[in-house]
A and B are shown apart, each in its own frame.
Chain A
Amino acid sequence: QKEVEQDPGPLSVPEGAIVSLNCTYSNSAFQYFMWYRQYSRKGPELLMYTYSSGNKEDGRFTAQVDKSSKYISLFIRDSQPSDSATYLCAMSDDYGQNFVFGPGTRLSVLP
């Protein structure tokens, strides 16, 4: 079993749709949970991070963490064509010494 697994893509949705991206993990030591957006030919860009369980909202983006289920999600409301990118979940322990990425989900938002 891989340490971090991410829902298979690619995803293709119409503009304005709600998008749900999900990851599961196996290491209970993870405490920081990040979502990155990566455009083609670019490096990952941090969208949001959450510490431990709970929800966090930033504009059209909401991150949820359920540590009891070892499951994290990113929701994108009113999706836009500019949201078309690869989304990577990532997580680390308290000391940042174990920083692991999921394989990514490629999202296309069609006008």
Chain B
Amino acid sequence: DAGVTQSPTHLIKTRGQQVTLRCSPKSGHDTVSWYQQALGQGPQFIFQYYEEEERQRGNFPDRFSGHQFPNYSSELNVNALLLGDSALYLCASSWTGTEAYGYTFGSGTRLTVV
């Protein structure tokens, strides 16, 4: 049973560029959450998608946007990249109504902005 799959694993972008990260949830999960984890820090909640709609959002600017597809997979888009956007981006999937301990995390996409 495949867990959460994220692509790509690593990415290098230039300031001002745009990036798209992808996530396939664990089989049977319908909710996807995205997190940003800076070096030496804990994951910070970006937003959560359910039924193709953004259900909840953390304290991130509008440069961060997302999408969920009918097959529950999701994308995270970041526009006008800043050096401070360099981080590990984690996707977590769950079944709606599951408590937070039921989240399954992917291995993340390491984004470096130069």
Contact = CB atoms under 8 A, between A and B. Distances in A.
Interface of A: 4, 6, 32, 34, 41-46, 49, 88, 90, 92, 96-97, 99-104
B42 A99 contact: no
Interface in B13-71: 33, 40-45, 56
Contacts of B1: none
A96 B99 contact: yes
Interface residues of B, number: 21
Contacts of B44: 101
27 contacts: A32-B101, A34-B101, A41-B107, A41-B110, A42-B107, A43-B4, A43-B90, A44-B90, A46-B103, A49-B101, A90-B42, A92-B99, A92-B100, A92-B101, A96-B100, A97-B56, A99-B33, A99-B100, A101-B42, A101-B43, A101-B44, A102-B42, A103-B40, A103-B41, A104-B40, A104-B41, A104-B42
Which one of B43, B45, B100 has the highest number of Cβ atoms from chain A below 10 Å of its Cβ?
Answer: B100
Contacts of B107: 41-43
B91 to A, nearest CB: 8
Given A43-B107, A97-B56, A90 B41 contact: no
B105 interface: yes
Given A34-B100, A34-B101, A103 B4 contact: no
Given A99-B45, A103-B42, A43 B99 contact: no
A32 to B, nearest CB: 6
Contacts of A41: 107-108, 110
Contact of A43 (B56, B98, B101, B108): B108
Given A43-B92, A99-B100, 13 more contacts: A4-B42, A34-B101, A41-B110, A43-B90, A45-B105, A46-B101, A90-B42, A92-B101, A99-B33, A102-B42, A103-B40, A104-B40, A104-B41
